[in-house]
Amino acid sequence: MKAVAFAPAVAGFSPTPPPRTNVISTEAADSLTIRCAVERYLYFVFAVAFAFAFAVAFAFAVAFAFAVAIALAVVLAVVLAVASFTSSF
């Protein structure tokens, strides 16, 4: 009777389950699907970063052009005002 009760312990069975560990398989990285998915994701990240940088640069360029146009309009208005004021004397 003791030999039967001892056999499961010898075979590797224990009354408590082993602690659960999360393991990432190293073979998954060799898969073509995984490689393509990772490469596409990185390309997407670079494309989004480039698009964001381009949008910010374009916004600053438009704002700078608008500021220069307003500054030129103010300078022209001042020059015309000074010219009309000095020509009246």
Per-residue pLDDT band at 35 (split at 50, 70, 90): low
pLDDT at residue number 10: 56
Query: Which amino acid is residue 46, in one-letter code?
Result: F
The answer to the question of residue 11 being in a domain is: no
CA distance linking residue 65 with residue 58, whole number of Å: 10
pLDDT at 54 > cutoff 60: yes
Q: Indicate the pTM of the whole model.
A: 0.47
Number of domains the chain contains: 1
Assigned token pair, 63: 């704002």
The answer to the question of residue 10 being in a domain is: no
The answer to the question of residue 30 being in a domain is: yes
Query: What domain range includes position 78?
Result: 19-87
The answer to the question of residue 37 being in a domain is: yes
pLDDT at residue number 34: 58
The answer to the question of residue 12 being in a domain is: no
CA distance linking residue 58 with residue 48, whole number of Å: 15
